[in-house]
Structure 1
């Protein structure tokens, strides 16, 4: 059975091994370059102003590259589920070659389990090795940025990608088992898993642990330290604030800007401060707009997770994905024994 699996899977295995070798070589080069840049950043970080300038130059040199790689690695599980998982059983059922195996001494569940384990472990190894290489290469950058909880970075570092690969592969396999057609199974796997990858980090992940709560006064200084004011959908919102005493915390939810009575700041007043604030000559990121907003005695309510919970989230999310993968495999074994002829 192992030899048959290898014969059927050898092309994908060789392509995956070659791609991993290329990525490993590039990761070594990129990791060495980032470490050189990090040394330059530390050497030029003599004062507050020098540190800010050196940090900005260091981040701008590698930010887009690492973001692009992380996005690609985030897509890898979906690609594996689509091109390795979906055709695994659907192609056999579609062409009728499964009958030859089932007429031998191997039972249907054993046949399915052997294929799932053989290819699934290869998928987990490929994704896990790629994540380990990227984690090593980006380590100095991550230490400076401290944004491990961002969607792309969290899903492309350490152990979480292993769980993603396992779930994507088993999901694709079960979809192929149910649909019995290769192309429809591939299309369904790709669309559904990409939607799931967007849904889980943004909706489920923030609630995996009880969040800490804090109320932050929005002084002019606090507003100037934020990343942005307003949003595409409108409303009196502020983004990218920092928690005093926990500047590296992951902020899972931020309320609108609220006045002292707890009500959201009126949109008209907010827009007036953004578009045409009284001239005060104030400096900072938002200048006069920050001074104008601060006069309303504003605050925001936030839910956040300390940075110390990062590994707890990694293990918990990986365990959830592996559990779902196990449930799908169990369902597939039941299905092939009872319903597939």
Structure 2
């Protein structure tokens, strides 16, 4: 049964191996270039130069490329689920070849389990190697950039991509088992997995561990450090505040000294028609106007030291979901498939 599964899977395996080889060659080249840039940055900074400018140039040379690669790696689990998982069972049920195997003294559950394990191991190998190479290549930049918790970067480093791939593959296999048609199963797998990948980082991840909270006064300098003021609906919020060495997972609306939300009309006055003071900075007179109101926000954040705890917790969630799907698939193929 193992040999038969491998023979049926060998074309997809060779295609995946070829793609992994191309990616590995590029990532090794990029990783060496990044390390050369890191040495150049440290020499410029250590020689009494402008460290801030050297750091900005170094990060600017590689961060965008690494973000594109992280986005590409984010597609790998979906592609594995689509092209390796969805057809694995659906194609056999669609063509009826599963009956031939079952008539050769191979039980249904053994047929399903062996197929799941053989291709699942290949899924772990491909996704793990891709994640390992990108993590190695990007490590000098990640160490200096301090954005390991960002949605794209977090999902493309270390163990999380492997867990994503395992879930995507198992999901595709079970969807194929239920749908029994290859193309619809492929489309449905991508759709469901995309929803999962949206919900987990935005809804589940911020609550995996209780955040640290801190009250931060909104001085003019603090407001000018933000990326934006106001919400889509014009609410009194400040966006893009940071905490050194931490992932800010939540920011309250602007509050007055007594803890109440800032009145909308007072925010609108400062935002649209602040007194002219000639202040500089990102928000200029608006920042000065708001600072005079003695405002603060409550920040919720996760320290960087919790990074590995989040990696393992999120991976455990994905692997648990994959195990539940695999268990359901074994039950379904034994009870419901004819």
When the two structures are superposed, what TM-score results if normalisation uses the length of structure 2?
0.95
Matches within 5 A, 1:325-336: 325-336=322-333
- What SS class does the counterpart of residue 55 from structure 1 fall into? helix
Deviation of 1:63 after TM superposition, in Å, equals 1.8
Q: In structure 2, do the counterparts of structure 1 residues 84 and 234 end up closer, same or farther at CA, with 3 Å as the change threshold?
A: farther
Aligned alpha-carbon RMSD (Å): 1.8
Partner of 1:124: 124
Q: Post-superposition shift, 1:46?
A: 6.0
Deviation string, structure 1 residues 286-316 (Cα, Å, up to 9, x no partner) = 3332212111111111221111000001111
Find the aligned partners of 2:268 and 2:75 in 1 and give their Cα distance: 38
How big is the shift at 1:183?
A: 1.1
| Correspondences of 1:85-124 after superposition (within 5 Å) | 85-124=85-124
> Quick check: 1:137 aligned with 2:134?
no
Cα deviation, residue 13, structure 1:
0.6
For 1:121 and 1:217, the matched residues in 2 are separated by 52
* Number of residue-to-residue matches in the alignment: 338
Aligned-residue offset at 1:275: 4.0
Q: Deviations over 1:184-222 (max 9, x none)?
A: 111111011001101001101111111111111111121
Aligned to 1:338: 335
SS at match of 1:138: helix
Q: Output the CA distance in 2 between the equivalents of 1:32 and 1:269.
A: 54
Q: What secondary structure is seen at the aligned counterpart in 2 of 1:134?
A: helix
Change (3 A) 1:303 1:48: farther
Deviation at 1:278, TM superposition (A): 2.8
Aligned mates of 1:120, 1:265 — CA distance in 2: 53
Distance in structure 2 (CA, Å) of the matches to 1:287 and 1:51 = 27
Using the TM superposition, give the Cα deviation of residue 48 of structure 1 relative to its aligned residue in structure 2, in angstroms.
10
2:300 is the alignment partner of 1:299 = no
Shift of 1:49: 9.1
SS in 2 for 1:45: helix
Matching residue of 1:311: 308
* Distance of 1:231 and 1:138 partners within structure 2: 34
Give the corresponding residue for 2:5.
5
- Following superposition, the deviation at residue 128 of structure 1 comes to 1.0
Counterparts of 1:89 and 1:308 in 2: how far apart (Å)?
A: 42
Tell me what 1:151 maps to.
Answer: 151
Partner of 1:193: 193
Task: Return the TM-score normalized by structure 1.
Answer: 0.94
User: How far is the alpha carbon of 1:45 from its aligned partner?
Assistant: 2.9
- How many angstroms apart in 2 are the aligned matches of 1:231 and 1:32? 42
Match of 1:262 in 2: 259
2:50 match: secondary structure: helix
**Distance verdict in 2 for CA 1:204–1:333, change over 3 Å:** same
Pair 1:184–1:275, CA change in 2 (3 A): same
With over 3 angstroms needed to count, the CA separation of the structure-2 counterparts of 1:49 and 1:289, relative to structure 1, is farther
Provide structure 2 residue ranges, at least 5 long, that are not aligned to the other structure: none
Provide structure 1 residue ranges, at least 5 long, that are not aligned to the other structure.
none
Q: Give the alignment partner of residue 282 of structure 1, picking from 279, 284, 297.
A: 279
